[in-house]
Chain A
Amino acid sequence: MTVAIQGGRERARAVALVRRVNFAVVVFLALYVAVGLLQPNYLEPAGAMNFLRRAAPLAILASGQLFVLISGGFDLSVGSLVTLTVIGGSMLTANDPSKTWSTIAALYAIGLFVGLINGAVVAYLKTPSIIATLGTLLSVNGAAMMWSGGSPRGYLPDNFRMFGRFVFHDVPVIGIFPLAVAVLVAVCALAQWGLHGTVFGRRVLAVGDNPRAAELAGVRVEFVRLGVFVISALSAVTAGVMLGGFGGVSVDVGRGLELQAIAACVVGGVQLLGGRGTVVGAVAGALTLTALFALLTLLGLPQPLKDTAQGFILIAAVAIGAWRRRRAV
C-alpha cells in the first residue's frame, strides 16, 4: 500500500519535473535529433560545437532582448545596432590589428549610448517602446549607411574576428572548441545571474508583471526601463562583434535579427507583454530557430516552401507551449 502511494508520488514528481523543463528545450532536442538523422556529423562533438558557434550571436541577442520583453517592452533596434557594430568595427580598425581593443571599447560605448537613448525615450518621454525603438532602428541604420557610404569600406582584422571565427583544435573529448561558444556561455551565465540572482532582475520581473504595483512597492520603474534597454543594446554589440567575426563585413548583416531574437524568446516561453521569462528559455528558443534553419536547408526544400514551413513550425511551437502552460496552472 505504502509502496503504491510512494510510486504514485514519484510519478507525480516526475511529471512535475517534465512540466518544469522549458518546452523550447524539448522542441530543440527533437529538431536537433531530426537534423542529426539527416546529417550524422551534427551528433558528433565537433558538429555540435560548430552548431553552437553558429547559434551564438542569435542566442546572445535573445538573452539581451529577454530583459526588455520581460519588462513589458520591445527592442526593435538591435538588428541595426548589429549592422552599425560591424560597419563601425571595419571603419575604426581601418585594417590595423593594434586598434582592435580600442575599437571594441568604442563600439560598446556606442551601444551604451543607443541603449540609454532607447531607455530614456521609453522611460521619461513615455513613448511606447515599439515606436521608440523603431525610430532608433531607422536612425542607427541611417548612421551606419552614412558612415560607410552605403558600401563596406574596410576589412576586420583577424584579432577582431577571432570572437566569431577562432577555433581551438585538438581539444580532448570534444575535438574542437570555438571561442564563440566560450563567449556564449559567459554571456548566458551573466544573463542568468542578472535576471535570477540580483535585485535588479527581480525588479525587471515586477515591472513587467505590473508596473503600477512595482512603483507602489518602491521600485524606480524608470531606472529599471533604462537598465533593460542598455542590457539589450550591449548584447547587440556583442552579437555584432561575433557576427562580424564569423562572416566579415557586410552592410545588411543585422537585417531582420530583431524579429528573430523576439521570435526566439517567444518560442522559449517568454511572455510578450512582460512579467515572465527565463534565460534558459530564450537561449533554447534561439537554438531551436537555428536548428530549424539547418533542418530546412538539409531537407533541400525550395525557398518559398522553407519560409512557409518555418512560419508554421514557429506558430505551432508557441501554441503548444502556451497550451502546456494553461494545463500546468
Chain B
Amino acid sequence: MSKAILGLVAGAALASFASGALAQNFDDPKEFQAAKDLLAMTPEGPAGKPWEQHLGGKEVDTSKYKKPGPYRICFSNAGVDNPWRVVGWTTMQAQVEVLKNDIKSFTVADAQGKDDKQISDINAFVSSGNCDALIVSPNTTAALTPAIEAACQKLPVVVFDRGVLTDCPVTFVNPIGGYGWGIQTANFIVSKLPKGGKVLALRILPGVDVLETRWSAANRIFKENGVNVVGAEFTGGDNAKTKAIVDDYINRFGAIDAVWMDAGATAVAALEAFEDAGKPYPIITGEDQEDFLKKWKEKGLTAMAPTYPTYQWRSPVIAAVRILKGEPVIGPTWKLPQPVIMQADLDKYVDDKMPPLHYALCGCKDLPGYPQAWGGK
C-alpha cells in the first residue's frame, strides 16, 4: 500500500518534473530545424490569401461533423489585452461578417488573460449546447489542455495562435512561429552587419514561450556566425524604458550597429534614442506595425519587418465553417505562411491612414468595415 503511494508520488513528481523540463526548453534544435524546413517550403492554396494557405500538412476528413447550416459558432478568447490581439480580434469579427450566410450566431467569451476564467468559459460553452463548433485561442498551453480535451468529446474544436498539448482538436492553426521569426531576423542582421559590428538585442520580458523561442533561434544564429551581441535587455514593452536602455548602450559602447527586437512595438522608441544621441540609425529588425514601417520609409533605414501575422485570426472561422459543412481541412496542424516585409515591398504596406500600432499583415483590406473598424481614416 505505502509502496503504491510512494510510487504514485514519485511518478507524479517525475511527471511534473518532465513536463516542467518540456515547458522550459525554449531552445530545441529539432524545433529549430523544423522551422527552418517550413521556411524553405512554398505555401499551397489560393494565391493572395495567405490565411487560407498552408505549408505542407494533410487534409483531414470532417464528414462526421457535417450538419445543416447556418451554424452557431462559439469562441473562447484568451484576451484582447494588447494591440496585436485588438487587430486580430477586429479582423476575426469582419471574417464572421463575410460568412454571415453560414453563421447564425458567433458567441464570444473573453478570458481577460486568466486561465481559470478561460477554463470555465470553455466548460460553459460545452455544457450550454448552443455551440456547433468551438474556436479557442488558449491563454497558456498546459493549463488549457484538459478543458480542450473535454470539449473535443462533445464538438469539433479549432485552436489557433498558442497551442495545447493534445492532438484532439480537428485542427490547430498557427504560423511557423518563434523559431522562424528568430531565423528570419538573425539571418538579415548577419547579412548586413559590418565585420565586428555590435548588436543590441531588445526583448519584452522573459519566460513567454513565443518570445523565448524568437530569441533562442536568433541567438543560435548569432553564435554560429560569431556576431558580437553586446547585450540582451528586457524593456517591458515600454517606450520610455526602451529609450533609456538604448541610450545607456549608445553611451557605453559609443556606437551600436544593429538592434534586434523580439517584437516591434517599441522599435520607434529605440530609433529615437539614436536620433536624440545624434548617432546614425542602426540596422534594425522591428515588426509589421505601421509606426515602424512609416519611420523606415521616411528615414530610409536598413531594416526588415518579421511578422506574426494577424491574418491568422481569419483562418479558424473559415476552418470551423468548413468542418461543419463536412469539407476537408488541413489538420491536425495547419501551418500558415509567415512572411517578412523587406525593402522591396515596403511601399505596399506603409499606410498613413492606419493607426501607429496597426499590423500591416492583417489580411483585412478586403474585409467589410475596412479601414474604420481598425481605427483607420
Interface stretch of the complex, out of A101-109, A113-121, A221-229, A290-298: A290-298
A310 in the interface (beta carbon within 8 A)? no
Interface stretch of the complex, out of B241-249, B322-330, B361-369: B241-249
User: Does A253 contact B240, Cβ atoms closer than 8 Å?
Assistant: yes
Chain B residue nearest in CB terms to A58: B240
Chain B residue nearest in CB terms to A50: B247
User: Does A154 contact B240, Cβ atoms closer than 8 Å?
Assistant: no
User: Does B252 contact A247, Cβ atoms closer than 8 Å?
Assistant: no
B121 in the interface (beta carbon within 8 A)? no
Q: Which residues of A contact B231 (CB under 8 A)?
A: 300
User: Does B375 contact A250, Cβ atoms closer than 8 Å?
Assistant: no
Q: Which residues of A contact B237 (CB under 8 A)?
A: 250, 252
Q: Tell me which residues from 261 to 309 in chain A have a Cβ below 8 Å from any Cβ of chain B.
A: 293-294, 297-298, 300, 303-304
User: Does B375 contact A294, Cβ atoms closer than 8 Å?
Assistant: no
Q: Report the Cα distance A150→B82, complex, angstroms.
A: 7
User: Does B80 contact A150, Cβ atoms closer than 8 Å?
Assistant: yes
Residue of A39, A243, A294 touching B240 (CB-CB under 8 A): A243
B269 in the interface (beta carbon within 8 A)? yes
Q: What's the tally of chain B residues with a CB closer than 8 Å to chain A? A: 35
Most buried by B among A47, A151, A255: A151
- Least CB distance from B344 to A in Å reads 26
Known: A247-B240, A253-B239. A150 touches B251 (CB 8 A): no
User: Does A39 contact B251, Cβ atoms closer than 8 Å?
Assistant: yes
B272 in the interface (beta carbon within 8 A)? yes
User: Does B239 contact A250, Cβ atoms closer than 8 Å?
Assistant: yes
Most buried by A among B80, B242, B248, B268: B248
Q: Tell me which residues from 210 to 259 in chain B have a Cβ below 8 Å from any Cβ of chain A.
A: 231, 233-234, 237-240, 242-245, 247-248, 251-252
Q: How large is the interface on A (under 10, 10 to 19, 20 to 34, 35 or more residues)?
A: 20 to 34
B357 in the interface (beta carbon within 8 A)? yes
User: Does B265 contact A250, Cβ atoms closer than 8 Å?
Assistant: yes
Q: Which residues of A contact B375 (CB under 8 A)?
A: 149, 151, 153
Chain A residue nearest in CB terms to B80: A150
B340 in the interface (beta carbon within 8 A)? no
- The number of residue pairs between A and B whose CB atoms lie closer than 8 Å in the complex comes to 83
Q: Which residues of A contact B83 (CB under 8 A)?
A: 150-152, 251
Known: A151-B86, A243-B240. A297 touches B245 (CB 8 A): yes
Most buried by A among B268, B355, B358: B355
B87 in the interface (beta carbon within 8 A)? yes
Q: Which residues of A contact B339 (CB under 8 A)?
A: none
User: Does B357 contact A151, Cβ atoms closer than 8 Å?
Assistant: yes
A145-177: CB near B (< 8 Å → 1, else 0) gives 000011111110000000001010000000000
Q: Report the Cα distance A250→B245, complex, angstroms.
A: 17
A246 in the interface (beta carbon within 8 A)? yes
Q: Report the Cα distance A247→B273, complex, angstroms.
A: 9
Residue of B86, B238, B251, B291 touching A247 (CB-CB under 8 A): B238
Residue of A154, A165, A246 touching B355 (CB-CB under 8 A): A154
A4-47: CB near B (< 8 Å → 1, else 0) gives 00000000000000000000000000000000000101100001
Chain B residue nearest in CB terms to A155: B356
User: Does A250 contact B238, Cβ atoms closer than 8 Å?
Assistant: yes
Chain A residue nearest in CB terms to B203: A303
The residues of B with any CB-CB pair to A shorter than 8 Å are 80-83, 85-87, 206, 231, 233-234, 237-240, 242-245, 247-248, 251-252, 265-266, 268-269, 272, 276, 291, 355-358, 375
Kindly list the 7 A-B residue pairs having the minimum CB-CB distance in the complex, ordered from nearest.
A247-B239, A151-B83, A247-B240, A151-B86, A150-B86, A153-B355, A250-B239
- 29 contacting pairs across A/B (C-beta < 8 A): A42-B251, A50-B247, A54-B247, A57-B240, A149-B375, A150-B80, A150-B86, A151-B355, A151-B357, A152-B355, A153-B375, A165-B276, A167-B276, A247-B238, A247-B242, A248-B239, A248-B291, A249-B239, A249-B356, A250-B237, A250-B239, A252-B237, A255-B238, A294-B248, A297-B245, A297-B248, A298-B248, A303-B206, A304-B206
The residues of A with any CB-CB pair to B shorter than 8 Å are 39, 41-42, 47, 50, 54, 57, 149-155, 165, 167, 243, 246-253, 255, 293-294, 297-298, 300, 303-304
